[in-house]
Amino acid sequence: MYVAPLTKRVVELRWITDTEEYQGKYKTEDFKEIVPPLDDGTVPESVSQIRECPRCCSLVTNSYLCPTCGKEFCLACVTEAEKDGCKIRVCVDCAEKIKNPLWHLTKKALWG
């Protein structure tokens, strides 16, 4: 059992079966399954590669570290933003703050 850094539990199920092919010859098959399956369709080498996107909660192996907030997001939750004349890739929330620095303050004032 591997508990992802956030909330979801990820289990690696593995089973090895011997099936008789013919006349006492056996073929060994090794199956591996990650439960729940990852949302980006990848199969990780090990469960420690799995990340949970803090924004959309999907389980992925291909994550992107947002340089602004330092969290890892799935590729669907990062976007391009322009900061100091350079295009950078940040998470959607940071992009919103870069575009409108007052946005999160306003949100705080309105909804606490």
Residues that bind Zn ion (CB under 5 A): 53, 55-56, 66, 68-69, 74, 77, 91, 94
Min separation Cβ 29 and Zn ion, Å: 34
Min separation Cβ 55 and Zn ion, Å: 5
* Bond from prior residue into 36 cis (ω within 30 degrees of 0): yes
Min separation Cβ 27 and Zn ion, Å: 40
Minimal CA–CA distance to 91: which of 108, 103, 106, 74? 74
Min separation Cβ 79 and Zn ion, Å: 10
Minimal CA–CA distance to 96: which of 111, 112, 82, 75? 82
Q: Which is nearer to Zn ion, 34 or 52 (CB)?
A: 52
| Mutual angle of helices 92-99 and 103-111, in 10-degree steps | 100
Q: Which is nearer to Zn ion, 47 or 98 (CB)?
A: 98
Distance of alpha carbon 89 from alpha carbon 75, whole angstroms: 10
Q: Which is nearer to Zn ion, 32 or 104 (CB)?
A: 104
